[in-house]
Amino acid sequence: MKKIVLLWGLLGLLVLGSNAQKLNFAESFEQGRINAKEKGRFILVYAYSPCILCDDVMEKVLSLPDVASFLNEHFILVDMDLDERRGVLFKKEYGLKSCPSFVLFDADGNLAHKIAGACSAENLLTKLLRGIDSKINYAGVLKRYNSGERSVELLPDYIFSLDDAGEMTDLSAIINEFFSHFSMEEKVSDMAWALFRAYAGNFRDQVFQDFLNNKDYFVEKLGIEVVNDKIQQVVFPAMQEALQGKFSSADTILFKKTINGLGDTDRILMGELWDLSIQKDYAGIMDLYEQKIFVLNPKWRGKYGDIQQSLLKGCGKEINDRLTNYIVKCLEDLRARRSMLIK
């Protein structure tokens, strides 16, 4: 019910507007806790220091008449100077890493949510609405996570709340951890796949190798183009890494397996480029680009172009001249294709 009331308040804020109004801060955090208990409201602590960014947030966000009115009506407000002694202790106790920050407590004084750094009025209010929901706020998702939950439903809420708090250190690691607990059906759900597609990018990760090992299932559920796009997304940066000499012998073995997961054309081309790069056969590499890669769709041709200079690092003048001519030819072909589209 409390969230519904706040949603209506937010709707009024965005649509109707209100008269100018200053923020009503409690005299102290302790007094704020007393007031929150009496009125059954959340406590919102604005933690700041004398800095340009904090001044901007106060002037351009918190002092907006509609925002101030909304916050005064629905929260017990407390300001906390992080340069003062009580602020220093508060910052340490709640692990604040950004200035300004907003810290939300429930009516009993328990930590509910953290919002790190400056944000727009709209973003602040969106995060506050997340903060008052005990299931998806910072405290709620940590409780679920620490109890062992690794569900598809928790994953986005966990990410959003950690991101709000400024504690998102390794999104890829989080995706990998959750995916290792998902069923095959859960892995192809819209939310799970969108996150995996965007952030699972290391061929060494077990979840990615599991994906390769079950490629047929993913193709059946998602389509061959979607699956091949994901494998390409991982293979091409890894190829750059290999060419820079950053592979161990174990990496090399695993990367060859990853290449075999590509579609037919890419699997053959990447396999040939890999062998030619090991042999430092620069002429052979240019032959491959001129005879086989040039005829590809420009989108895919561009992907191979990203690794071309790394493949040819250390080549002589003759190969450099061929490379220059190849790039010019690609540009001319692209212009011709665009001209045909315009006509």
User: What per-residue confidence (pLDDT) applies to 12?
Assistant: 47
pLDDT at position 8 over 90: no
| Cβ-Cβ contacts under 8 Å for 137 (sequence gap 6 or more) | 104, 112, 113, 130, 131, 161
pLDDT tens readout for residues 204-221: 999 999 999 999 999 999
What residue ranges do the domains of the chain occupy?
2-133, 200-342
The band of 1, judged by pLDDT with boundaries at 50, 70 and 90, is very low
The band of 20, judged by pLDDT with boundaries at 50, 70 and 90, is very low
Mean pLDDT over residues 234-243, rounded? 91
Q: In this structure, are residues 87 and 47 in contact, taking their beta carbons and an 8 Å threshold?
A: yes
User: What per-residue confidence (pLDDT) applies to 169?
Assistant: 86
pLDDT at position 229 over 80: yes
The band of 21, judged by pLDDT with boundaries at 50, 70 and 90, is low
In angstroms, the CA 202 to CA 258 distance is 11
The CATH homologous superfamily for domain 2-133 is Glutaredoxin (3.40.30.10)
Token representation of residue 196: 């995996």
In angstroms, the CA 232 to CA 236 distance is 6
Amino acid identity for residue 254 in this structure: L
pLDDT tens readout for residues 146-172: 999 999 999 999 999 999 999 998 888
User: What per-residue confidence (pLDDT) applies to 339?
Assistant: 79
In angstroms, the CA 339 to CA 343 distance is 6
pLDDT tens readout for residues 109-160: 999 999 999 999 999 999 999 999 999 999 999 999 999 999 999 999 999 9
What are the percentages of helix, strand and coil residues in the chain, rounded to 5? 65, 10, 25
In angstroms, the CA 96 to CA 167 distance is 10
pLDDT at position 262 over 70: yes
User: What is the residue-averaged pLDDT of the chain?
Assistant: 90
| Cβ-Cβ contacts under 8 Å for 216 (sequence gap 6 or more) | none
- 290's enclosing H/E stretch is none
In angstroms, the CA 35 to CA 323 distance is 72
**Helix H segments across the chain?**
2-15, 29-39, 52-57, 65-74, 85-93, 121-131, 138-146, 154-164, 171-179, 184-187, 190-199, 206-213, 215-222, 224-243, 249-259, 264-279, 282-288, 298-311, 317-342
DSSP string, 205-216: SHHHHHHHHTHH
- Give the largest CA-CA distance in the chain: 82
pLDDT tens readout for residues 276-316: 999 999 999 999 999 999 988 887 788 888 899 889 988 99
pLDDT at position 18 over 60: no
pLDDT at position 184 over 50: yes
In angstroms, the CA 307 to CA 135 distance is 46
Mean pLDDT over residues 67-96, rounded? 95
- Phi/psi at 42 (5° precision): -80, 150
Q: Give the N- to C-terminal CA distance of the chain in Å, as an integer.
A: 59
